[in-house]
Amino acid sequence: MIRKLIKNLSQAFSKQSSTASAKHLPDIITRGEHGISRSEISEHALKVLYRLHKNGYQGYLVGGAVRELLLGKNPKDFDISTDAKPEQVKRLFRNCRIIGRRFRLAHVFFGDEIIEVATFRAASEMVHSEHGMVMADNVFGTLEEDAFRRDFTVNALYYNIADFSVVDFMGGMQDIKDGILRMIGEPDVRFREDPVRILRAVRFCAKLNFKLADNLLAPMQELKVLLHNVSSARLYQELAKLFFTGHAFDTYELLKKQEMLGFLFPITENSLTQQVYPTDKLIIQVLKDTDERLSQNKTATPAFLFAAMLWHAVCERAKLLVQRGKRPHAALFDAQDEILSEQTKVISIPKMTQQTIKEIWSLQWRLEKAYQRNAFKLFSQLRFRAGLDFLIARNKIGEYTLLADFWQQFALLSEHDRIKHVKLLPKLLNKKQDSIYLKNLGLLNKKT
C-alpha cells in the first residue's frame, strides 16, 4: 500500500516535470548580463568543459559553483553536467574514474582537484524504498529533465561553455536576487525522495543567508523524522558540509530553531534541555572559533566539534559513575566510551576521529592537574594544541579552568623560559578551583 502510494507520488512529480519542461522555455542570461568570468572558474573545470564541447558533447558548469559565482563568492568545487555518458567521458580523459551505484558519475582527477562530471538525469524510472527514498537512479535524460530533477532552484542554473550564457529553467536567478530558497517540485515528495534535503535546506539558508520559501516550512517539520532512516555514514558526510563551510554558528542556530539538532546530536539536545551545564555557550564558542579559523584558511577538525557537542554529557556521565563507586580515572574513560558509543549509532564517527576526541577530553584533566615533572611531557603530546584550544574555549565561557592562561603562555615561550615558567605550577594549584570536570571526578585539590 505504502509503496503504491509512493510510486503514484513519484509518477505525479515526473508528469509535472515533463509538462513543465514542455511548456516553459528556459531564460537565457547572456554573457554580458550575468557577470561570471572564466577567470573565476577552475582551469581544470574549463579544460573538461572545452574538451566535451570540442568532441560534440554539451558541457555545463552547474550547481553550487554557478550559484557561488553569481553571489560573488569563490566556489570550492566545480561540478559539470553533460549529455555524454560516463563511459564516453572516460574515453576522453585517461585520468577519469567512474564511481557510484545509485547514480554513476565520472570523476576526472587533476592532482588534488577532482572535477565531477554527471550525465543529465531523467525525471522518471527511479527505484524507491518503502519510505520514499531514491535507492537507484541510473536513467539518463536531457538538460531540461536534469534541471527539474535538482533540489532547489538556485542549484538549477547552468553555465554554458558554448556561448558563456547561463541557462535558467526554474527561476533560480530571481530567487538568488530575492534571497529565497525554493524547492523544485512538491516539497513533501522531494523530501521523501531524499530526507537529507531537509538538512541541505538548513545548510543553504545558513550559508547564503537566504529565507526558506513558505511552502517548505511545514513539510520540513512533518518529515524531519525521516532523517532517522538516513545511514549514519551519510550523516557524517553531511556533518562536514553543515559545520565546516564557514557558517557553523548560523547553521547551529537554525538547526535549533527548526528543532532538528536532536536528529544529529540527541545526547547534546538532552544536555541543552537539562541546562545543568553551559553547554550552549561552549558549543557557540567553539563554532565561532571554527568559523574564524576557516575564514583565515586554517584547518578545523570534526573531532573538536564532537568534543564540544558531547563534553558536558561526558562530565555528567563521569559524575554518575564516580557516585556509583568507580575510581575517577576509570569513570573518565568509561564515560567517554559510553557517550561515543551512543553517538555513533546516529552519526558514524571514524575510529581515528573517536581517538582524537578522547585525547582532547583526557587532556582537560591532565592539563588542569599538571605538575612540574610532567609539564614538558604533556607539551610534547600529539593532541596538546587541540586539548589546549578546548581548555581555552572552556575558559572563555566562564567554565573556570585554573591553568588555561598558564598553558597559553607556556606554549609561546622558548624552551629556556618554559623551565622558569613551569615553577609557577605549585602556587597555581594551591589556589581555589572551580572546574566542572574536576568536580565531577572528585579531584579538586587532590594530588594525582
Place of cell 576526472: 108
Element (H, E) at 305: helix 302-323
Biggest CA pair distance of the chain:
80
The percent helix, strand, coil of the chain (3-state, each to 5) is 60, 10, 30
Active site annotation includes 151:
yes
The answer to whether 188 touches 42, Cβ cutoff 8 Å, is: no
User: Which cell is 253 given?
Assistant: 542556530
| Active-site option among 83, 146, 151, 175 | 151
Cα(339)–Cα(265) distance, integer angstroms? 11
The CA dihedral of 262, 268, 274, 275, to the nearest 10 degrees, is -120
Give the separation between CA 421 and CA 125, rounded to whole angstroms. Answer: 70
Our answer to whether residue 188 is catalytic in this structure is no
**27, 77, 250, 337: the active-site residue:** 77
Residue 77 annotated as catalytic: yes
Cβ contacts of 247 within 8 Å, gap of 6 or more:
206, 207, 291
Task: Please report the beta strands in 40-160, taking only residues with DSSP state E, as ranges in sequence order.
Answer: 59-62, 79-82, 96-99, 105-110, 113-119, 127-128, 134-136, 157-160
Question: Residues 79, 61: contact at Cβ < 8 Å?
Answer: yes
Residue linked to cell 550559508: 207
Give me the active site residues, please: 77, 79, 151
